[in-house]
Amino acid sequence: MKILFLFLDGVGLGSADHTTNPFAHATLPNLRSLLQGNALVAETPPFVGERATLLALDACLGVDGLPQSATGQATLLTGINVPARLGYHYGPKPNPAIAYFLKNGTIFGKLNAQGKTAALINAYPDGYFESINSGRRIYSAIPLAVTSAGLNLMTANDLYRRRAIAADFTAQGWREHLKLEDTPTLTPQQAGARLAYLSRKYDFTFFEYWLSDLVGHRQDMQAACSILETFDQVLGSLVASWDNDEGLIIITSDHGNLEDLSTRRHTSNPVPALLIGSRSTRNILRPKLSSLTDIAPSLLELL
């Protein structure tokens, strides 16, 4: 059993209003095909199709206020209701209380202790490590969990050697924003195929896509549709390269944001859990997933 965890930061299940929800506005043929003509909106789940199951997960977790990245991601990675333990939602970066959970008992650490292979396949540029080592930057929740489990973060060298993928899938951002103009780029279709290829090398593969949250805060419909349409091309290629019998793809998030561009804040909407794989595997997970706390224990049980 192989699991690919495709994490989309800041993606909830919103209304089917095409004026505020880019999931209703953008052209997403591959996602709609998986959902047999339906959109990734609040009205669709629960849905069970030929290749995919879509569920809605509670991201508020019984705590007042809007869900935030650090507590939401810590909950996803540990199965512990971190906001309830602390009494508040918090983010974007983990404070010391949240860091405690991320350093002790995440899915990465548990799999590593069991002799399973796990990896975060995002490539990080040299400047990222320099800022971490100098103290100018602290780890966000996911790289903190990975490094605390004794696993290495992927580097520019890994990207060049096709062992990792840039955060924007194509690495065009490395050229345009980081001015690393010799960075090898991928088409979205090549990125999807590489996701499938790299996922065969590990028991548990994780990829973090944070542009969805960034664009949601900017309330830019055109930019939102652009990144979603790129993601849809990646998804189409990934699914075409994926053998249902070899494992499961799970796509989920930590909180809502991108699905409602009428606000630049996070939302209290549920987040999607899109499961892609054999019907038997999806049926095992379906009754177990209702909130962010259910992801880590359910995936550990599968593995």
Domain ranges of the chain: 2-272+297-302
Residues 206-242 pLDDT 10s: 999 999 999 999 999 999 999 999 999 999 999 999 9
Distance CA 292, CA 197 (A): 27
Q: Which two tokens stand for residue 108?
A: 């990465």
Average pLDDT over residues 141-163: 97
pLDDT tens for 259-271 read: 999 999 999 999 9
- How would residue 75 be classed by pLDDT, with cut points 50, 70 and 90? very high
Cα separations (Å) of 110 from 97, 211, 254, 273? Answer: 20, 28, 21, 22
pLDDT band (50, 70, 90) for residue 71: very high
Task: Identify the DSSP state of 291.
Answer: B
Topology of the domain comprising 2-272+297-302: Alkaline Phosphatase, subunit A (3.40.720)
Q: How confident is the model at residue 16 (pLDDT cuts 50, 70, 90)?
A: very high
Mean pLDDT (whole number) for 145-168: 97
Is the pLDDT reported for residue 109 higher than 90? yes
User: Model pTM greater than 0.85?
Assistant: yes
In this prediction, residue 245 carries a pLDDT of 87
